[in-house]
Structure 1
């Protein structure tokens, strides 16, 4: 296989119906573009889903942090650069850089991915795939100057704010609720009046357990140290123990 560059760059368009009331790209759609860039990059280099599916493995997103100075507007063309900056036995870390055609940097992202066996849903050894090919594509020098995801801690006082049932359109190719769907559900906890004054500055999410079509999700929210900084917890109903945590999130607004 021909050796490619360690950093991939992929062009996207902020389509108008993927933009919010302000005319800027929804965070959820930006998240989809980041995941697509990761998929393109890994497939081109031989350790993506196209190959993993043949050996009954897949990638699942474990953590994502996105920090944006601003968002592409409707019809803007922008690029997502992505690269792997570290590999462990069961996880790999991948960074993102979002830029405009003029070189303007909109923001950055950091993510952690786990490789799992599709039958057992248990972790799989990343370094066993094609003799550890992914190690040839580690890039540690290209800057991604945002903080790693923090460990979101929630108190027992977090307020229940919403519940929702998961449906057909929530579920992706891996058979569980799509990573970006959680982001969209979380951002829906605030109304338009809030977003007119407070665009999202940073979004962090850590995925704990899978949920599936038919699960009922419960959302809990509490404020952190300032009026524009929040923690959110999502749990699914569990007949055995009441609730099972699905993910935790931090949302920092401007």
Structure 2
């Protein structure tokens, strides 16, 4: 069973890239972030034609998350994180799919930092940690994945020094991500590739293409301990970053033994 996460950077504007990637890879479960569309304009019909049922939590022009299931329909469990009833950002959705609990998230970027946006990032992160502990207590097979907007360690950046003033590499961001791992979540890509520079994001280049020296790993698939023994492989579909009109992210994925 293969689970992937992809920040599409606009699901309608990047729909040709998304559909091509889905048809070429046939992942069983796909989590999408940064939809940048209202619920009524989500391309459910196009995704269904590509073989995927979907649930989504949209927001006009910003944010937005979705979970896709190949040949089936995800069963929604939750939308939005608990802990702040006034939070209007569409950043979390959760479903049961093929025996797994799938949580799809788009964590705030936090720039410019320090400042109010970074404060909001840390508050949202704290809510995720708190809710994540509730998920772990259930001892269920869980994949909690998406764009975390956190570069956990120096090995996760092609040139770490370029990002010292960026919220994705701030010590507070990295410490909070580490706290999730301390709670018991397992970084699946790093588990499979403990010493390898693996990247999921690259800056756009003014000359076209992308700046390969800007590589970062900030799209993560965290798995609960009961899933760790089923982990067989993990990687990134880097080639999508070179397609026409791509996202600035590439999909990350894991392969699990089925229950």
Q: TM-score, normalised by structure 1?
A: 0.30
Higher strand share: 1
Q: TM-score, normalised by structure 2?
A: 0.30
Higher helix share: 2
